[in-house]
Amino acid sequence: MPARRIIPCLDVKDGRVVKGVQFRDHRDVGDIVEHALRYRDEGADELVFYDITASAEGRSLDTEWVRRIARVIDIPFAVAGGLRSRDQAAACLDAGADKVSINSPAIERPELIEELARDFGSQCVVLGVDSFEDGRDYYVKQYTGSVAATRDTGLRTLDWVREAAERGAGEIVLNCMRRDGVRSGYDLRHTEAVMEAVTVPVIASGGAGAPEHFRDAFAIGASGALAATVFHDRLISIPDLKEYLGSCGIEMRR
């Protein structure tokens, strides 16, 4: 397997980076370009930027901040937020993004996945999945960037990721909503089940609070580990994290 990836996640609202807990109560944590530069310098392997209210507000993300980021960093980054058409995705890629991530718009119209994979290649198409544990199973939620707009889709998470991969999604980011921002560790059982359901890379997201949590995610086969709070609040240093993971025998990009 290729070297594992450390991926800081930056939630964007009104052009600023914000962070919440379990997708609620977001606080401002700084300027989008300053964060991008900081993570580039610290050795992040990739970055992901989510315009968290775009889908719920029925709009697409502002490509101007995509251009601002692309001008100053040289590591891959993905963007997401209300991308409902081939042309909107193309605008983001033209502005400098390496990948587009789709979530609620893909649930609205699953054919979007096929259209983007056909025109840009599966390697550019990331499926974001906001998965919520309900009883003994996991289900997909939609429009999670707005508490008022969030709704249940009725889709079982494993059914949805299988369909999305078959339609051409090249990567899955699994956001385990109950773990988001609480720093108790990734939901390894659910992440492993998703990895068994698809043949594309799976990124663990939601719950990172200690270096051991990243180690555990990689031990079960996650291609990457996404985190926000521990990086934004400088609770974990990316260089120190990579050093630790390397000492555990996990191949990392240096």
* Minimum mean pLDDT range among 7-21, 80-94, 161-175, 220-234: 7-21
The answer to whether 51 is a known catalytic residue is no
Q: Are the beta carbons of 126 and 97 closer than 8 angstroms?
A: no
pLDDT of residue 92: 97
Whole-angstrom Cα distance, residue 195 to residue 180?
Answer: 19
CA dihedral for 155, 80, 17, 186, sign (positive or negative): positive
Q: Indicate the average pLDDT of the chain.
A: 92
More confident residue, 127 or 148: 127
Q: What is the pLDDT of residue 213?
A: 98
pLDDT for position 194: 98
Give the type of residue at 111. E
**Percent of the chain beyond pLDDT 90?**
73
Structure confidence by residue, pLDDT tens digits, 13-69: 877 888 666 555 566 777 899 999 999 999 999 999 988 888 778 888 999 999 999
Which residues is 16 bridged to in the sheet? 13, 31
pLDDT of res. 55: 77
% residues pLDDT > 70 (the chain) = 96
**Averaged over 199-224, what is the pLDDT?**
97
Q: Does 152 qualify as catalytic in the annotation?
A: no
Confidence (pTM)? 0.91
Question: Does an H or E element contain 11, and which?
Answer: strand 5-13
What is the distance in angstroms between the CA of the first residue and the CA of the last residue of the chain?
16
- Quick one: pLDDT at residue 58? 84
Residue 119: predicted pLDDT: 97
Which of the residues 45, 130, 180, 187 is marked catalytic? 130
pLDDT band at 106 (very low <50, low <70, confident <90, very high): very high
Q: Which residue has the higher pLDDT, 240 or 143?
A: 240
Q: Tens digit of pLDDT for each residue in 111-139?
A: 999 999 999 999 999 999 999 998 889 99
Residues 6 or more apart in contact with residue 238 via CB below 8 angstroms: 6, 8, 39, 42, 43, 44, 231
Q: What is the pLDDT of residue 168?
A: 98
Output the pLDDT for position 46.
97
pLDDT of residue 1: 62
